[in-house]
Amino acid sequence: MDSVLQYQEHSHEQEAESKVRQTTCCIVGAGPAGAFLALLLARQGIAVTLLEAHKDFEREFRGDTIHPAILEEMDKLGLAENLLRLPHTRAYSVQFHTEGTQLTFDDFRRLKSPYPYIMKLSQVQFLNFLVAEARQYPHFQLIMGARVEHLIEEEGVIRGVRYRSEHGEVEVHAELTIGADGRFSWTRRLAEMAPEKLSPPLDFLWFHLPRKEQDPREEAVELHFAPGMFIILLDRGEKWQVGCAISKGTYQQVRQAGIEELQSSIAACVPWLADRVTHLQSWKQASLLSIESSRLKRWHKPGLLLIGDAAHVMSPIGSVGINLAIQDAIAAANLLTMPLKGQCLTENDLARVQRRRELRTLISQTWVGLIQRQIVSALDARRQFRLPPVARFLLRVPLISSIPTRITALGGWQERIRL
């Protein structure tokens, strides 16, 4: 965190001197996709300005998973060893618990990878790690507390952004603007680009419960199902991060039923949590997250490219959002570095990024969407969840049972960094 704050102070000193900045690439959103892309471009000597609306990275209940595909690319950059020194836990599989039975859905040990697991690392630490590495390159600039309010457009081409901070209004002029500002992308709204919704929406209540020594340590992402109930459990070392699914738009009904009713439902779904559900005593302890899956038909306009959740909102059910977003960043860096260096970037170059990533995104969203539809249907009817028939088929056939694992771990086909 100190490195971010130090750079933030330095950036604010520069900002006070000038209300207009020049850069080659302006990235809006310092999440995993934006920070990773900024690092890759800075390594190539491309001037990049990374804007983050918040003043720090301290936000609860964000995706904290780093998949094998990303760890392999971090290794290629020489960063995996240092990253793995940070406090983290590992998930070697995804486990479905339903009707008293356990089913291994994804077994990452079957992958031919030096990192056959999902690394569960606080996103705060991950973003600070990426930013600290990017700061080693003189072409990188991070500005925290920068709320983008306008896109600068000249003759039909996006030429940067205008943002507001505690120091006033500042313009960033850029050859390329990247929107990497997540599922509620303000950049997308400013560009008047509306995504198509793909699967029925779902709401999640996220909160923490204490972890005890006798708790299961299966090193897995745990998915628990009961009639009308779906719970995700993520091991966070000394605590469990719990995601409790509720039907869309029923939050007020759940609140009116009382916190005790929610406690009872959690205990019924995951019986070994019954001895600590009373730690959830207030609705202030829970964060409501609306879940949807959507995708833009067109990810770009002249001078503007959207990546990650800004281009394709992913459901957290498959835990693939960060994986796909970072692979978007890798593809963008691979395809756009030379045009940016040569000052010859065209919209065709941006279209190449979408073409490269679109099929991979479609496959992941379709796969996760099948499961999400079943979950929504089970919640609404208050019945037991059943895996979709195609999922049961894939898991039973040895030759193709690795497909779900590859979709989760690698995003289908893995993007490789061109050094």
pLDDT tens by residue, 95-116: 888 777 777 777 888 888 899 9
| Digit-coded pLDDT (tens) for 224-257 | 888 888 898 888 878 898 989 888 888 999 999 9
When pLDDT is cut at 50, 70 and 90, the band that residue 9 belongs to is very low
pTM given for the model: 0.87
Beta strand spans in 4-144 (E): 20-28, 48-52, 65-66, 89-91, 93-98, 101-107, 118-120, 140-144
Integer Cα distance of 140 and 118 in angstroms? 29
CB atoms within 10 A of CB 351: 15
Q: What is the pLDDT of residue 403?
A: 67
Q: Which CATH number fits domain 2-58+123-196+293-369: 3.40.50.1370, 3.50.50.60, 2.60.120.1440, 3.30.9.10?
A: 3.50.50.60
Q: What is the pLDDT of residue 145?
A: 96
3-class DSSP state of 201: strand
CB of 135 within 8 A of CB of 142? yes
3-state helix, strand, coil in the chain (%, to 5): 40, 30, 30
| Digit-coded pLDDT (tens) for 285-306 | 998 888 778 899 999 999 999 9
Beta bridge partners, 220, equal 93
Mean pLDDT of 163-175: 94
Does residue 186 carry a pLDDT above 80?
A: yes
CB of 211 within 8 A of CB of 240? yes
Beta bridge partners, 173, equal 22, 160
Does residue 271 carry a pLDDT above 60?
A: yes
Output the six-digit token pair for 46. 């491309």
Provide DSSP, 269-296.
HSGGGTTTGGG---GGG-EEEEEEEEE-
Does residue 388 carry a pLDDT above 70?
A: no
| Digit-coded pLDDT (tens) for 44-87 | 999 999 999 999 887 655 568 899 999 999 999 999 999 999 99
Give the helix/strand (H/E) hosting 124.
Answer: helix 123-134
Q: What is the pLDDT of residue 6?
A: 45
Q: Exposed, middle or buried: residue 359 (CB in 10 Å: 0-12, 13-18, 19+)?
A: exposed
| Span of 55-69, 275-289, 304-318, 352-366 with lowest mean pLDDT | 55-69
Higher pLDDT, 330 or 314: 330
Output the six-digit token pair for 18. 């000038």
Does residue 141 carry a pLDDT above 90?
A: yes
Q: What is the pLDDT of residue 17?
A: 44
Percent of the chain with pLDDT over 90: 55
| Span of 36-40, 90-94, 133-137 with lowest mean pLDDT | 90-94
Does residue 377 carry a pLDDT above 90?
A: no
Integer Cα distance of 131 and 400 in angstroms? 39
Q: What is the pLDDT of residue 394?
A: 61
Does residue 413 carry a pLDDT above 80?
A: no
Q: What is the pLDDT of residue 10?
A: 46
Q: What is the pLDDT of residue 34?
A: 98
Q: What is the pLDDT of residue 199?
A: 74
| Digit-coded pLDDT (tens) for 193-210 | 999 988 777 888 999 999
When pLDDT is cut at 50, 70 and 90, the band that residue 374 belongs to is confident
Give the helix/strand (H/E) hosting 399.
Answer: none
- Residue 69 CA, chain-centre distance (Å), reads 14
CB of 109 within 8 A of CB of 92? yes
Query: Could you tell me which residues come within 8 angstroms of residue 242 by beta carbon, excluding any fewer than 6 positions away?
Result: 206, 207, 208, 209, 231, 232, 233, 234, 266, 273
Mean pLDDT of 25-41: 97
When pLDDT is cut at 50, 70 and 90, the band that residue 7 belongs to is very low
Does residue 14 carry a pLDDT above 50?
A: no
CB atoms within 10 A of CB 3: 14
Mean pLDDT of 111-122: 89
What's the CA angle centered on 412, arms 409 and 414, to 5 degrees?
75
Amino acid letter, 349: D
Question: Phi and psi of 391, rounded to 5°?
Answer: -65, -45
